[in-house]
Structure 1
Amino acid sequence: MSLPHHQPIRALLVSPEAGQKLRAEAARMAAWDLTPRQSADLDLLVGGGFLPLRGFLTQADHDSVLAGMRLASGALWPMPLALEVDADFAARVEPGEDIALRGPDGMIMAILSVTDKWSPERAEGAEMPGVAGPVCLGGPVKGLPGADEVRLGPNAWRARFRARGCERVLACDPADAAAGARLAAELGAELLTAGAEPRHAGPREALWQALVRRNHGATHLLLPADPAAQALLRQYRAEIGLELVEAGITQAHGM
């Protein structure tokens, strides 16, 4: 039986042949050494975990997300995700250029085609960490296949659910894993706690993590304890595409 959450989603990885060519070209590019969090974000971006994104946010998308939790296209996306770099590196890069993105091990993970470079003003809400870096770069990304494919990406999770014939996949925050495991057993569901690196960004983050977990193949979501986060998830549940479940209650909301 073919179910929507079993189907592969669009990833941003190039073929091994194209990757070999891009690695050779990267030797002539400016290279940014990613922070551990940036590296984790890029891993999800390239693997499809941040669908519908095709790269780091442009200035128009960044501003639209801050203002209304949507990309300039209108698609729901509540978290800014531009690439923040220091001023010295930014001075070496102009829109129209490609840059190499290096992981903590020095390996080239991806190529960013820079379309936008800007210095955002300090965000008013302190609950939005990381959105006011010295300089932001945006543009499409091409991910390069790596030798280490141990980490499970969204399509690997979907393949696992497909192989196991899982009709239901309950997602939750790792902190709620104990309650999630009990509910998953009641629902006859697989439990999924994979998600993005925490931002501590309040209700927006709960909405964002729901989208990321949907991209990993979730069908149900355990509501967090925070009432504001619950309200936001219920407000956007049709666009999230997940059935919302309260702790201790197996009847899903929004069915």
Structure 2
Amino acid sequence: MKGSICPILQGGLGNRLFQFATAFSAARSKNMNLILPSDAALREVFEINETFNASRKLCKGFRKVLDRAFPTYHKNLMNFSSSDNIQLGYGLQSWKYFYMYDKQLKKQLTFRKHIQNEAKQTIDKILQRWKIKSRNSVNLVGIHIRRGDKVTSYDDGYKIATPEYLNRSVNYYVKKYEAVLFLVISDGMSWSIENVPSHVPVAYISLGKRELDMATLVACDHTIMTIGTFGWWIGYLTGGDVVYMKDAAVKGSRFGKSTKR
């Protein structure tokens, strides 16, 4: 009998994308049903169309298979029968859970048309402001700077992007491409305005909705990310070059130890 997988979707947009992506891949690899409620928030953002719609109540009696909330791949997590009915959730923050279905997943994670249109309008206005006549004449680089609660989460061990990191990152693109314009989103915009290098053309974006911010940066050509799942998905969905922090965790911290498992 064919079993079913219900992803437990919780946390921010980036976290939910990891949870959905892992459940999507597991269902594909095991030939199981993927159950995603029709009112799930992800459905309002992405053109998810290859899943089985059902009520949330259907999943309540399913056995839970839970991952630790760390960016670590647990190879034994998927050792359940294809005839089981599973609630799959928490963490799941590793590309190793879903890389084998990369093309199919990216098709599912196409932004809905109205979101794409608003992202395009935002970019068009920025190009006009900078007197750039053609989108094809410039390389757009999206920068996501995560600060917020991570600035004060010393015990967790997250490394926050420094001005030096941002300077090296923008210089990489300036040297590689002839015409570059940087688009910045951040939950610490005041800090970002003060610390993003001023020797390059930069536009700062705050559209008030996380899905619009993400869609606008995904419409760019390349990415500079700092920390966090939100920025990771921007880089993944954008394609192109992705500059990221080599050591995103403080050595010896709880977060640092988890990434070494």
Q: Same fold (TM over 0.5)?
A: no
State the TM-score bracket (shorter-chain normalisation): under 0.3
TM-score for the superposition, normalised by structure 2? 0.27
